[in-house]
Structure 1
Amino acid sequence: MERTELEWLEHLIACHDKEKADLKRLDSYYEGTQPLSYMAPELQRELEETVRQVVINWPRLVVDAIEERLDVEGFRFPGHAEADQELWRIWQANDLDEQSQQGHLDALTMKRAYVVVGSNEADETTPLVSVESALDMFAEHDPRTRKIAAAVKRWCEGEGKDEVEHATLYLPDVTIWWLQQDGIWVEDPDFPRDEHDMGEVPVEVLANRPRLKYRNGISELADVIPLSDAACKIATDMMVSAEYHATPRRVAFGFGEEDFVDEQGNKLSAFSRIIGRMWATSKSSQDGADVKQFPEADLKNFHSTLGQLAQLVASLTGMPPHFLGQSTANPASADAIRSSEARLVKRAERKQRAWGGTWERVMRLVMRVRDGEWTDEARSLETIWRDASTPTVAQAADAAVKLYTAKIVPLRTTRERLQFSQAEIARMEEQDEEAAQQLMQRIADGDVTPLFGRKPGDPPDDPEGLDDEEPPEAQRGNAA
């Protein structure tokens, strides 16, 4: 059944509202503001004013460890050895170096992020590209084509009574701006609809680990959250135990409630007596009263539990143990570190493959908006990623030079393997061109030395050997 534009808007908003609570929960785990789990509500209410949660933010560590290895460095057309400078200019003009990093981070945390492409009235050669949070956008896929059928973006302006809710509806042939008046959605008169007639929604999804049944992705934190909750609970319990048991525990015999007062004679609460604040009493041992002290408790059982939980996180996420503080006394060798990072690197490379396709579709939309037509050559566009592994500089240079010397890869590819930026590679190629022109000029002037070398018996460029002479100060030093 075909939906009207308003029906699409209301349907997408309803779907978005249904999942916003879960998205906010996932976001709270990355920010470390999640509520304390595994604690009885009665105890939590009793300790609310004196104990706060100790947050061990493994979720952020898991997300950042992958995101730090996802850097886009350019786009290359088929049959071209170098990245396309025009697409990279548009990328840079839209600050996508920073926005792509934020989009990857949000997708890892909250299942997905969105990329929106639109026309730019100020500069028709540079379409606008923005990365949006899943907290602000929602898209629905066509079950037959698996492409996006429609998408909505929502935001609010103003505060209190002046707050106005806005929405943008993205459809295959039109983009419409809406605002809510008296609880009813109406088209925004300040923004005329954009009849672009592209036949495709100008929105792409950066979905994390999408599956055939779950096109909108799965959070990278799904396996980590239960273990993180357990670790926060154990760490909080350890601090509570430190308050109660890490210092010597006291016990009093022969006292009543009225005997526990502070320095001003005010009665102390039961909890104040438990945590060992100052006591004052007039009773003595002659009255049958006595106060004793137990030895303090050891907290090592908490340490071992946290260590076990850290090992489980490492095994589930593929993170090296030293990322979680589970390292031996002796530093691991470079080979051991690379071996321990193998699963993490492979996970990052999988993200590059999946999200490389998303960024390629985004750039195809960019060219469609800029040129007004689809480009067949762009169907085989390739995203260039920085190497997700962490080889040493010497190892990377040695491997790259050997491949170049054996004529397996060209010079530009060698420089890309060494992770030089596209701007640095362009500057190197300019210097190579300048050096080649100087060489050709020397040959044109009759100097064939660069081609055949010096003849036997030819004088050096410095016939008197002045450059080889030591300065007078050095000669005096040698004589001394």
Structure 2
Amino acid sequence: MSGTPELTQAYWSLEASRPAYERAGGFYDGTVSEFHASPRVQRLLQKYRLRDMDSFNFAHIPVDAVADKLYINNLTSGVSAVDAVIEDIWDVNELGLEAPILHRNVCKFGDAYVFVWPSADADGEDITGVDMIVEDPVSVRVFYDLVNPRKKTHAIKSWCEGQGAERTTYAFMYYPDRVERYAYKGRVTKSDKGQDKWEPYTADGQEAVIENPLGFVPFYHFRTDRPYGVPEHINAYGPQLTLNKLVTSHVSTIDYQSFPQRYTLAEAGTTGPNYQQGEVDPFSPEDADSDPESMGTASQLEADPATVWELFNVREAGQFDAADAAVFLEPFDRYIKAMSQTTSTPFHEFDSTGDAVSGESRRQTNEAFYSKVSARQMSIGFTWGQLFVDVLGFLGLDVDRVDTVWRPVVPAESLTDVESLNLKRALGVPDEVLLIEMGYAATQVANWRTASVVDATGPVVAIEDDPTMTSDSDQVSEPTE
């Protein structure tokens, strides 16, 4: 068995997508350097190591602002026995810790994946559950049917080990019924012979093609768009590059503000050096043959208190004014505001020192941001539900759906919010649902169900068995992050 056309197509599709993901990660981490149109300026910055300075990174804020709102209260099927299994799977796979990483990667890259595979006992004979592993899109890519783009056809995971002549590239192709495993010695090329260099991988003692017992492609694609996502901060790239340029340019002028650039003007009628023959050149190092830029050579002029500088044939001395800091700082704020506008991220996420805006005004101002977060919750929550429906089916539990219950994007806090909840309660919405809308975790609400939390005359009364709630949802046990 050698490489197939589908393998090479999948590999190069993954390879072509990597630069964009790496660029997104670079902007999030603040490792993208500024751009200067002038080669001379670039050389100057490199000479004084200003290009190595850590950037003032604001591009991560649009990512974190959304990711921080993606907090799962619980996953529920509506059947308490099934929910207990969901909670066990969640806890065993440490998804309380892994899910926030996954959600941040979705916002950072636009795409992220969860790999699902059966877990077995020590003997490897009996399946005891499933393993779930968060994967990033740099090494994984899922492909879809051209006729039905909602249907996964296959997926590839590829990575490299070793360097130079010892370099090996691995590529595993995942289908609903099988996994094809390949290895490539050396650097992968696009030549016609490159396909033939993919060899079956059997170094771990298994066959090159192994069975997929799940019956479905074991990668679940979390994304901000379809078929593939877009980073939340993609529109922050331009403003961030400009901020980097402003910062490094400003820093390069700080030395001149602390130690101004000075000059001397020659006396009229004099020519050549500003000293007579046999006199000491005050601006030269003692060793005239030494490198004038060397830190080991010193000028004859000393900047000590009470010293007098003797300059010959000099009419006037002065200094140049350094660039005004406002030239850099004023546009700095404007580009941060541009980043806020282009990414639909509230400005207070970038600057928490401004005037506080709360209540209905803040909600209206941030409406575009809240809509974006709600869209992410819908997309990511659907994929979580799809994942658990398939996993539960593999474990022999037939469920129609699993719902993701998110912490509210805007918890009910103001008097207007409470009045709205009272109206919903009057219309028959259960108290349990109202408390979750207020931002309380479902587990916390479940613990309150047998206790009286508010006087019966108040807006929210004792939460006991509510006739509007079904028996299955009365004892929801959910994983929390």
State TM-score, norm by structure 2.
Answer: 0.75
Aligned to 2:71: 71
* Shift in alpha-carbon separation, 1:235–1:326, aligned structure 2, 3 A: farther
Q: Distance in 2 between matches of 1:8 and 1:55?
A: 42
Describe the superposition over 1:190-242 as per-residue Cα deviations: whole angstroms up to 9, x where unpaired.
234442365532222112233xxxx1122222211011101111121111122
Q: Are 1:260 and 2:260 counterparts?
A: no
Q: What residue identity is the alignment partner of 1:135?
A: V
Q: What residue identity is the alignment partner of 1:385?
A: W
- Higher mean C-alpha displacement, 133-142 vs 181-190: 181-190
Aligned to 1:287: 313
Aligned to 1:171: 175
Match 1:35 to one of 29, 33, 36: 33
Shift of 1:64: 0.3
2:234 counterpart SS class: coil
Asked if the contact 1:148–1:204 (Cα under 8 Å) also holds between the matched residues in 2, the reply is: no
Q: Distance in 2 between matches of 1:132 and 1:144?
A: 27
Match 2:383 to one of 345, 355, 358: 358
> Greater helix share, 1 or 2?
1
Please list, as runs of the form range in 1=range in 2, the aligned pairs for 1:417-436 lying within 5 A after superposition. Answer: 417-429=437-449
Aligned to 1:101: 100
Aligned to 1:220: 232
Please list, as runs of the form range in 1=range in 2, the aligned pairs for 1:317-356 lying within 5 A after superposition. Answer: 317-325=343-351, 328=354, 330-356=355-381
Shift of 1:100: 2.2
C-alpha RMSD of matched pairs (Å): 3.5
Please list, as runs of the form range in 1=range in 2, the aligned pairs for 1:11-410 lying within 5 A after superposition. Answer: 11-50=9-48, 51-52=50-51, 53=53, 55-77=55-77, 84-122=83-121, 124-146=127-149, 147-157=151-161, 164-181=168-185, 184-190=198-204, 191-192=206-207, 193-196=209-212, 200-210=216-226, 215-245=227-257, 247-254=259-266, 260-262=283-285, 269=292, 279-280=299-300, 284-288=310-314, 290-325=316-351, 328=354, 330-371=355-396, 375=398, 377-378=399-400, 380-392=401-413, 400=421, 403-404=424-425, 406=426, 408-410=428-430
- Higher mean C-alpha displacement, 63-72 vs 194-203: 194-203
Higher relative contact order (CA 8 A, sep 6+): 2
* Shift in alpha-carbon separation, 1:420–1:177, aligned structure 2, 3 A: farther
Describe the superposition over 1:298-357 as per-residue Cα deviations: whole angstroms up to 9, x where unpaired.
2112111111111211111222222222864x4434444333332222111110111112
Q: Distance in 2 between matches of 1:83 and 1:401?
A: 32
Shift of 1:170: 0.5
Asked if the contact 2:407–2:440 (Cα under 8 Å) also holds between the matched residues in 1, the reply is: no
Q: Distance in 2 between matches of 1:278 and 1:290?
A: 23
* Shift in alpha-carbon separation, 1:400–1:357, aligned structure 2, 3 A: same
Asked if the contact 1:252–1:289 (Cα under 8 Å) also holds between the matched residues in 2, the reply is: yes
Q: What residue identity is the alignment partner of 1:134?
A: P
1:223 counterpart SS class: helix
Q: What residue identity is the alignment partner of 2:368?
A: R
Asked if the contact 1:321–1:327 (Cα under 8 Å) also holds between the matched residues in 2, the reply is: no
Describe the superposition over 1:158-209 as per-residue Cα deviations: whole angstroms up to 9, x where unpaired.
6676654333211121123333357533132523444236553222211223
1:48 counterpart SS class: helix
Q: What residue identity is the alignment partner of 1:325?
A: D
Q: What residue identity is the alignment partner of 2:283?
A: F
- Higher mean C-alpha displacement, 50-59 vs 155-164: 155-164
Q: Distance in 2 between matches of 1:63 and 1:391?
A: 24
Asked if the contact 1:99–1:131 (Cα under 8 Å) also holds between the matched residues in 2, the reply is: yes
Q: Distance in 1 between matches of 2:325 and 2:107?
A: 35
% identical equivalent positions:
19
Q: Distance in 2 between matches of 1:135 and 1:259?
A: 60
Q: What residue identity is the alignment partner of 1:133?
A: D
State TM-score, norm by structure 1.
Answer: 0.75
Q: What residue identity is the alignment partner of 2:31?
A: T
Shift of 1:151: 0.8
Shift of 1:263: 7.4
Asked if the contact 2:174–2:180 (Cα under 8 Å) also holds between the matched residues in 1, the reply is: yes
Q: Determine which structure has more spread, i.e. the larger CA radius of gyration.
A: 1
Q: What residue identity is the alignment partner of 1:302?
A: F
- Higher mean C-alpha displacement, 410-419 vs 167-176: 410-419
Shift of 1:67: 0.4
- Higher mean C-alpha displacement, 139-148 vs 157-166: 157-166
Q: Distance in 2 between matches of 1:21 and 1:234?
A: 26
Q: What residue identity is the alignment partner of 2:202?
A: D
Aligned to 2:435: 415
Q: Distance in 2 between matches of 1:236 and 1:121?
A: 55
Q: What residue identity is the alignment partner of 2:218?
A: P
